[in-house]
Amino acid sequence: MLITHALSVLVDWRSCEYLYNMNLKKIIREEIDDLQWMMEDWIDGEQLLELLLQTGAETIPFREVLGDSNLIGTQIKDLGNLEKVGGGLYLYESKIKDLGNLQSVGGSLDLEGTQIKDLGNLQSVGGDLYLKGTPISKTHSKEEIRTMVRVEGNIHL
């Protein structure tokens, strides 16, 4: 009886160890799957917003955002390594202070109500450029901005 009980405990322990290892592997695999897109040079706009909201990040570690990116009211302070946004980039009343390496936005760029003082490396905006209530709107005219950046749409000061 004692041997039977000992074997039963050993089998239960091995089962628990097996289940523990399988669950651990599953959790690790899920975490890797979830984080794998973070190791790329690009990210989808919705994933970016989710990442920023979950982590409270103040900068963007990606070079490219696919599609639109709505970052209105987020804690983002600078765009870090971001060079290109395929769609619109909406930073209305966010804490953004620096466009970092941003070179192009495929759609509109909304910086209204931010503390952006210059457009940095920005070369082109495929839609409208919204600068109302920014330091830039007080120091530059629409014509001056058009000499700095190719804006396909209207400039709103």
For the chain, the domains span 2-37, 41-156
What element of type H or E holds 11?
A: helix 2-36
State how far the Cα of 146 lies from the Cα of 150, in Å rounded to an integer. Answer: 6
* pLDDT tens-place values along the chain, 157 residues long: 444 444 344 444 444 444 444 444 444 444 444 444 444 566 666 677 677 666 777 777 788 888 888 888 778 888 888 899 999 999 988 888 889 899 999 999 999 999 999 999 999 999 999 999 999 999 999 999 999 999 999 999 9
Q: Read off the DSSP letter of residue 68.
A: -
Three-state DSSP state, 98: strand
Whether the pTM exceeds 0.75: the reply is no
